[in-house]
Structure 1
Amino acid sequence: MREYLYMALVAAVVTFLLVPLVRRFAIRIGAMPEVRDRDVHTTPTPRLGGLAMYGGLVAALLTTHELPHTGPVLAASNTVVALIVAGGIITFTGFLDDWWGMDPFIKMGGQIAAAGVLVYNGMRLTYIPLPRDWGPPLFLDDLSSAVITILVIVVIINAVNFVDGLDGLASGIVCISAMATWAYSIRLDQVLEDNRINVTAAVMAILIGVCLGFLPHNFHPARIFMGDTGAMLLGLVLGSSLITVTSAADPELIVDVNKFGALIPLLIPLSVLVLPLIDLVTAVVRRTSRGMSPFAPDRGHLHHLLMDLGHSHRRSVLILYAWTFLFAFGLTGMSVLGVPVIFFPLIIVLAVGVLILMAAPRWRSKGSHHAPRGPRWRRRVSPEEDDGGPPTGPMPPIRAESTALR
């Protein structure tokens, strides 16, 4: 566990120290566009925070070879090289988009290229494990494996990018998701091989550190935004966990272990992104139903709706943190305790309860219409002023009776 803490600490410290340098660089090159109608911030804020995140990611990955337990595990795969190269591609793509702007289809090309690097280095879904009652695992041929892997990673990249609309929102949600995935991977590896060292846990520890190192600069009021540079990088690294946590064990063993986790291993990494995925799907439906491009920006994201209900900036972010925590650790706990997958709808019911609580500010605003106004003050008029004569001297003000709003 100390090695995971070490990797997270290196990623956090390097990211934290790089942010001020990146901020000055972003201001110098003009990567701080004017405020748009759909934005919630009121002053131009530099972007490119993802450059600092990439620096923290690379620094932590390069130090893993010195670790006695985690180093050999990562050295046995191409994970370090794959994430550095793929992360570089997605960071450069995001950098150009944040600086100059980029056509959505060109940006998607960069996302596919980055995901393709992971596939080329062996990070791919080779099978889809199923619960024991559903039959044997669904094995994939090379083409299907490559296509599905790239598709899943691109979806997760855009899901994180879609939810990045409030200060500290995307980095906090990804951090919570990484924590849940880390816990699940540790438990899975411990049950299968009586071991707690695995690739997924190592990568998630680094991702947690990157997010924690960036959050102090990004929480409201943010001094820098991660931009597409950081949002797409976080999505790429988090998406890679779905691949590594699934391919880390024999599929037959995964099926046997379903007694402690009737949820399929793919469900955990995907469900921890339930908020970004819901936001992504609803945004596409909303925009296409209006005759707009699915990539056209608007002001209908979940965080916009929360603020329209009357929540403050920070409260909206904390509510969305709670949503992510509920789904991520709820499913992780269900898997570890062996709760059947049929109980998953209970989490949906709990989420609906959270949504009802979100409407509380609106109820309070309705009740405020009947609240009395505070007392009003007026100056007493002297008899001379009443008769039109000159005032004989200043008169002290007195308080009039309070009047209620009618």
Structure 2
Amino acid sequence: MKHLELFLFEIGVSIFYVKIVLGFVFSFLITYFSIPTIIKISKRKNLMDEPSVRSSHLRRIPNLGGIAMFYSIGICASAMAYELFDIYKFLFASMVILLYVGVMDDIVVMRAYKKLVAQIIVSGLIVIGSDIRIRNLFGIFGIYEIHYWLSVIFSIVTFIILINAFNLIDGIDGLAGGYSLICSALFGISYYRLGEYNYPLVILSVIIIGTVLAFLYYNLSNYRATKIFMGDTGSMLLGFLLAFTGICFIDIFIDKKLPGIPRYYLQSAPVIAVAILILPIVDTLNVIIVRLYHKKSPFDADKNHIHHKLLRLNLTHRRSSFYIIGYYLIIVATAYYLRHINVNLLLLITLFLGFFGAYIPDFFYKFQNDKLKSNIISKS
């Protein structure tokens, strides 16, 4: 690799842009050509996702697409963004553990407590072992620097919530994949603008984009023979990687006063990160609040997710995903536009818009029902 860098330097080509192109192309191609084999094996071995109470599909579909995603990200990130694995020693180990747990859950369905234990181990490895944690709240609720162990606990909980939150929004075609693509693009652009020191994270974001694009080609397919879901393997992996990139994003804006490293400070950085990841955060919190209000266990399966509400309006999976992602992109744009206002006010506005979006389908559903009732009464 050093010889290649030297050669490219001599001809005036930046190795970073070569890695960007190669990372995107190879991540796309590896996923694209891996998935048909996984579909074939899944059907031959009867490793299919069975329709259930909370499912929004009616047919048996292969659900091991996450294996191709791990395969692609693991290979391409190791080759093109190897600096990440030097800096964060437990990053790859955490991904391997999530792969094992996800595949086990997709095939035999693991007990919830076993998955939680595995997620705690993974989160602990990356937070304590690699020191990826939320160190500072930038004045949110009057809190700035957080004590080390409080920071560790808070960061582990954040990882666990986001890993499971992405798993929960993976209920219709294109939603988890499409939203992950958007989040990776937003974080990648931000890292690129923040300078060369963050280029490995830019490359990781591009690799995720290439991988997810190839997966979406099959996930959004109208042909049953080529359709696949990412399963818990894919959703947990994406949730973990986006939590990782989100916390790294916040960390960049802390003025560490380290020699040789550019210093940045934007007080609204944590809220911008929340805005980018707002859909899984709001959807999960809203569902838990509704379940507790109705005196049900937070872990009970139901159809109170935002995507379920849009399906009740007789929208297709594609349209539902498009509307959800479109609305939450507006929230990101709003948070970015208002990034210089008081950080607590910005957080309040972001969360209000997030929860408001979760109830917009309910307003339309009620309007639809009232209109139908009035039509029936007028005809009678």
Question: Fold match, TM over 0.5?
Answer: yes
Q: Which residue of 2 aligns with 1:211?
A: 212
- Rounded to whole Å, the distance in 2 between the matches of 1:168 and 1:296 is 24
1:118 maps onto 2:126 in alignment: yes
C-alpha RMSD of matched pairs (Å): 3.3
Q: Which residue of 2 aligns with 1:302?
A: 306
**Which segments of 5 or more consecutive residues in structure 1 lack a partner in the other structure?**
65-69, 372-403
Aligned with residue 153 of structure 1, among 154, 159, 167: 159
Decide whether the 8 Å contact of 1:184 with 1:332 is kept in 2. no
> How big is the shift at 1:111?
1.1
Q: Which residue of 1 aligns with 2:109?
A: 101
1:180 maps onto 2:186 in alignment: yes
Aligned with residue 287 of structure 1, among 285, 291, 294: 291
**SS in structure 1 opposite 2:87?**
coil
Correspondence list, 1:228-307, <5 A: 228-248=232-252, 250-251=254-255, 257-258=264-265, 261-263=266-268, 265-307=269-311
Q: Which residue of 2 aligns with 1:74?
A: 84
Q: Which residue of 1 aligns with 2:68?
A: 52
Correspondence list, 1:27-46, <5 A: 27-46=43-62
Deviates more, 1:269-278 or 1:208-217: 269-278
- Rounded to whole Å, the distance in 2 between the matches of 1:121 and 1:11 is 27
1:328 maps onto 2:329 in alignment: no
> How big is the shift at 1:23?
1.5
Decide whether the 8 Å contact of 1:160 with 1:232 is kept in 2. yes
TM-score, scaled to structure 1? 0.76
- Rounded to whole Å, the distance in 2 between the matches of 1:163 and 1:353 is 14
- Rounded to whole Å, the distance in 2 between the matches of 1:129 and 1:348 is 16
- Rounded to whole Å, the distance in 2 between the matches of 1:266 and 1:350 is 17
Decide whether the 8 Å contact of 2:136 with 2:254 is kept in 1. no
Q: Which runs of 4+ in 1 moved over 4 A?
A: 131-135, 343-371
Over 3 Å counting, the alpha-carbon distance change for 1:405 and 1:285 in structure 2 is closer
- Rounded to whole Å, the distance in 2 between the matches of 1:24 and 1:289 is 44
- Rounded to whole Å, the distance in 2 between the matches of 1:283 and 1:196 is 39
TM-score, scaled to structure 2? 0.81
1:15 maps onto 2:15 in alignment: no
**Which segments of 5 or more consecutive residues in structure 2 lack a partner in the other structure?**
1-15
Decide whether the 8 Å contact of 1:125 with 1:246 is kept in 2. no
The structure that is helix-richer by fraction is: 2
**What's the % identity of the aligned pairs?**
24
Decide whether the 8 Å contact of 1:167 with 1:220 is kept in 2. no
Decide whether the 8 Å contact of 1:174 with 1:234 is kept in 2. yes
> How big is the shift at 1:104?
0.5
1:355-391: per-residue Cα shift (whole Å, max 9, x none)?
Answer: 65885577567667899xxxxxxxxxxxxxxxxxxxx
Over 3 Å counting, the alpha-carbon distance change for 1:120 and 1:185 in structure 2 is same
Structure with greater Cα Rg: 1
